[in-house]
Amino acid sequence: KAGVTQTPRYLIKTRGQQVTLSCSPISGHRSVSWYQQTPGQGLQFLFEYFSETQRNKGNFPGRFSGRQFSNSRSEMNVSTLELGDSALYLCASSLDPGGDEAFFGQGTRLTVV
């Protein structure tokens, strides 16, 4: 059974640009959550999607957005990149929003220069 797939694995972008990251959850999982991991702040919740709807959002500026497609795949977008957006972006997959375990992908390492 395939795990959570995140693409691309690595990205280098320039300040002011925008970026789109992709996440394919485990087959049959319908809930996708996104997290940002930095050395200073650790793992922080960005948002959660289920049935193409955002159910919950963390304390991040509006430059961070996401969406989910009918096949449960999800994308997140960061516009007007800042140096502080450099981080490991992780996607987590769960069966549904109500419970059960959350399984993470390998992440996308974003570097903003």
Partner 1 sequence: QKEVEQDPGPLSVPEGAIVSLNCTYSNSAFQYFMWYRQYSRKGPELLMYTYSSGNKEDGRFTAQVDKSSKYISLFIRDSQPSDSATYLCAMRSGGNKLVFGAGTILRVKS
In whole angstroms, the minimum distance from the beta carbon of 5 to partner 1 comes to: 11
Relative to beta strand 31-38, strand 42-50 is: antiparallel
Per the CB < 8 A criterion, the answer to whether 7 and 22 are in contact is: yes
In whole angstroms, the minimum distance from the beta carbon of 98 to partner 1 comes to: 8
Of 6 and 24, CB closest to partner 1: 6
Of 58 and 79, CB closest to partner 1: 58
Distances 24 to 11, 18, 66 between C-alpha atoms, Å: 18, 21, 13
Of 79 and 106, CB closest to partner 1: 106
Interaction site with partner 1 (CB under 8 A)? 4, 6, 31, 33, 35, 42-45, 48, 50, 55-56, 58, 90, 92, 94, 97-107, 109
Of 56 and 80, CB closest to partner 1: 56
Dihedral sign, Cα of residue 108, residue 32, residue 37, residue 84: positive
In whole angstroms, the minimum distance from the beta carbon of 16 to partner 1 comes to: 27
- Selection from 22, 19, 1 nearest residue 11 by Cα: 19
In whole angstroms, the minimum distance from the beta carbon of 50 to partner 1 comes to: 8
In the block, residue with structure tokens 């793992």 = 43
